[in-house]
Each structure stands twice: as C-alpha cells, then as structure tokens.
Structure 1
Amino acid sequence: MPTTPSLPAGDVPRRVHEARSRIGRTRFYDPAYVALDYPGGDVAGDRGVCSDVVIRALRAEGLDLQQAVHEDMRLHFEAYPQHWGLRGPDRNIDHRRVPNLQRWFERQGWSLPPQAQADAYLPGDLVTWTLPGGLPHIGIVSDRSGADGVPLVIHNIGRGTREENVLFAYPIAGHYRPDID
C-alpha cells in the first residue's frame, strides 16, 4: 500500500520514530505476565502486546509509564478500572493494560473527543479501540498516510509491531494527545 509522509521529519514526535523502529524487532504478540524490573522494566524486546508499543515509544521521550501508572495507582487505586479483581496495584502489569492507560491518559488531561475525520489525528496521537468481543486495543498515529489519506497506525494486534491502515477499522474508544515536556 503506498504511503506518504504528512509532516517534515523534524516535526514528527520521537515516539513515532521509536514505535516504527520496533517493526521487525517486536515480532511476537505475547500477553504473558512477566515480573519486571522497576522502574524501567520491559518484556523481552522481540515480544509484547499493543500497550508495549506505546510504553516503549513514550519511554524514548523520557516518560516511564510503568512508574507513572504505578505511582498514580498507588495513590488513587479506586480511580482505576477494577476488571481484574486486584486489591492493589501491580507494577509488573498495570501499565500494560489498556483500560489503565486510558484512565491515566485522562487523568493527565490528554483526552480529545474521538472523531470520524482523519485530519483530527496527528502523528504521535494515541488511539484506543474496542475490538470484537469487547477487547481493548491501543496504537500510535503515524506520520504516514495510506493511499486514502487516512493516517496509518503503529500497533501490535497479534503479528508483532506493524504500521497499518486501521485507524477506522474498529470503534474508537479514546483519542489522546500526549503533552510530554
């Protein structure tokens, strides 16, 4: 599928370049629970889930989601989704769960309303979807667009990190614009 850059390279957030650098390196979708170092822990580089694409990309910009989400959950556990029956935060997995990331992004003031127009999404924006079966998913908007003009998304939906034209393939659950200084 032909793609075209939509911004000069210098205007593209570093997280987009970092996410793209995972293509061909993160080859496996692996949701296994792993005990991680803290802070700065990560699963093996050749594997991960959709959230690991975002975690690694934002870490390249100096934001450790493992630490940020864990510290916020320690102080405000009741503000986070309670889907997993936990009694407290778990620094090994909480940042890898899309609903927790959505809540943390909201708490940072990064939320934007989901839109049906492609031009509402900028390179580096984070998008969450609800996949069939109610499964949450997350990806990073690319600086490249498909032949239809829709921005591509860098994500891992089961075949390793890829850059694909999936922005409007599933119902959008959240749209976030990170404000990282």
Structure 2
Amino acid sequence: MEDLTADTTSGKKRRTRRTITTILIVVVCVIAAVAFAVLSCYQHTSSRRPDNQYSGTIEQVDVLEGALAYVGTHPKYKSRYYNIGYPDDGYGVCTDVVANAMKAAGYDLMELVSEDIVAHPDYYDIVEPDKNIDFRRVKNLQVWFRNNAISLTTDVSDTQEWQGGDIVIFENHIGVVSDRRNKDAVPYVIHHNDPWQKTYEQDIGGADEILDQMRSLTGGCILAGNGSHIPNKQLTELMEFISAQYFL
C-alpha cells in the first residue's frame, strides 16, 4: 500500500513538472514570436519614394531627406537628457526627428531656439533656459516655428498645400510631412511617438488635431496663419516699427 502511494505521489510530481515545463516553453515561444514581430517590422520606412507632385523646394527636400536619414538609423524611443543636446546613443523622441531633419537643411535648432529664447523671453514660458534640452520640447519648437517660419493651413483636405518637408505640430507631438500620400491624398507623417509604433512614416494626418503646419522662410508658399506671408515675430516687429515711425 505504501509503495502504491509513493508511486502515485511520484507520478503527480512528474506530471506537474511536465505541465510547468510545457507552460514555460509556450511562454518562451510567445515572447520570442512577439520579439521577432517587433524587430521585423519596428520603425522601418521604405527607401523607395513616390514619384508625385507633392515634393517642395530644394530646402524642403533637404528637410524631408534629413528626416528619412535620421529614422533610417532606427532610433529607439526614450526621453533622456544629453549634455551635448543631440542624442548620440541611438535613442530619441519626436522632436529629434525634426531637429535632425532641419539640421540636414542647414538649421541648427539647438542654437536657433536658444538664441530666440534669449532675444524674446516673453514668447517662451521658460523659467531657466537650458540650451541642451529647450530645442527638444514641442512647445518651444512651436513658438520658434511660429516666430520664424510661414504658418500654413491645418486642413488636411487642402492637399495641395501640404508638401514633403513641411513641419506638422500636434498637441504635444511634432513631425515632418512626408511626400507619401494615402488614397485621399492626405500626407503621411514622419515621426517618432512611442516604442511600439510599427513604422516611422504613418498615415496619421487625420488622427489628431493639428495645431500648426509650418514651412521655412525660403520655402515660399501661402496661407499664413496671421493673414500674411510674414511670421509672427517679424510681423510684430514690423508693426512696432511702423508704430514708432508714424504714431509717436
């Protein structure tokens, strides 16, 4: 009787071990499958560009190509502080897409935003400016672009006013307008929003409220948000100059 009890207990233990082993194997296989899926499709953007009419000026092309070159390095999403300003370790956030894209076109936003904060502190809600991080904040880039670039339409149905290399600003997010379009001719956006997005270049133009679409001064175009082709800062300075000349 004792031998039967021992054999039964031993058999239960073996079955329990087999069950646990099977569960562990299944868990490992699931994790491996998820990891493979993420690594195989994570953040890849096609190098083949569409042949269409939505490319802009040479400068806009530089911005677009700069954005594509940056995401082509497959940066991983993580917000960190860098003493040199620009991330150099393979990590980044949405503002780094724009900063690197603009740098490819000859605009160093780290320097430009810092200079604008010093020159116009009232435009920025910053207690202690920090050159290394200020240009990597969406709200600061929004102010800088409004002060130094042309404000365009935010209506994605106005498809002809969207060109590759423009900058698009959402609530707490920013990206570069692609030359790729969906079936309705709404542009894709090159951006970096979180660690789990499948590609850097996505059809998100109508997903969230767009606050601004901007274009650098030499890019030309129309539909300035203040009713003119003049950026807000220059418009303010022009009005102050006119007021000083004619009304004092």
TM-score between both structures, scaled by the size of structure 1: 0.81
Structure 2 CA distance for aligned equivalents of residues 6 and 112 of structure 1:
21
**Amino acid in the other structure paired with 2:98:** V
1:16 matched to 2:59: no
Larger mean Cα displacement after TM superposition, 22-31 or 47-56: 22-31
Which consecutive unaligned segments of at least 5 residues does structure 1 have? 131-135
- Report the CA distance between 1:42 and its aligned residue: 1.1
Once the two structures are superposed, residues 65-124 of structure 1 have per-residue CA deviations (whole angstroms, 9 ceiling, x without a partner) of 0000001101222211x2xxx523110110001111111111114212311313321111
- Report the CA distance between 1:9 and its aligned residue: 7.1
Structure 1 CA distance for aligned equivalents of residues 54 and 94 of structure 2:
26
Considering only aligned residues, what root-mean-square deviation do their CA atoms show, in Å?
2.6
1:101 matched to 2:141: yes
Cross-structure match for 1:43: 87
Structure 2 CA distance for aligned equivalents of residues 59 and 167 of structure 1:
24
Cross-structure match for 1:78: 122
Inter-CA distance 8–126: structure 2 relative to 1 (3 Å threshold): closer
- Report the CA distance between 1:8 and its aligned residue: 8.1
3-state SS, counterpart of residue 132 of structure 2: coil
Structure 1 CA distance for aligned equivalents of residues 149 and 141 of structure 2:
12
Confirm or deny: 8 A CA contact 1:128 1:172 kept in the other structure: yes
1:34 matched to 2:82: yes
Which consecutive unaligned segments of at least 5 residues does structure 2 have? 1-45, 220-248
Confirm or deny: 8 A CA contact 2:55 2:163 kept in the other structure: no
For 1:1-181, what aligned pairs fall within 5 Å after superposition? 4-7=50-53, 13-36=61-84, 41-44=85-88, 46-80=90-124, 82=125, 86-117=126-157, 118-130=159-171, 136-159=172-195, 162-180=200-218
Structure 1 CA distance for aligned equivalents of residues 191 and 217 of structure 2:
20
More helix by share: 2
3-state SS, counterpart of residue 107 of structure 1: helix
Inter-CA distance 145–116: structure 2 relative to 1 (3 Å threshold): closer
Structure 2 CA distance for aligned equivalents of residues 10 and 125 of structure 1:
9
Higher relative contact order (CA 8 A, sep 6+): 1
Inter-CA distance 138–8: structure 2 relative to 1 (3 Å threshold): closer
**Divergent runs of 4+, >4 A:** 8-12
**Amino acid in the other structure paired with 2:168:** V
Structure 1 CA distance for aligned equivalents of residues 52 and 210 of structure 2:
22
- Report the CA distance between 1:158 and its aligned residue: 1.1
3-state SS, counterpart of residue 93 of structure 1: helix
More strand by share: 1
**Amino acid in the other structure paired with 1:47:** Y
Once the two structures are superposed, residues 132-168 of structure 1 have per-residue CA deviations (whole angstroms, 9 ceiling, x without a partner) of xxxx100111111123322111110113771111111
Cross-structure match for 1:133: none
Q: Count matched residues.
A: 168
Structure 1 CA distance for aligned equivalents of residues 162 and 206 of structure 2:
11
Give the % identical residues: 35
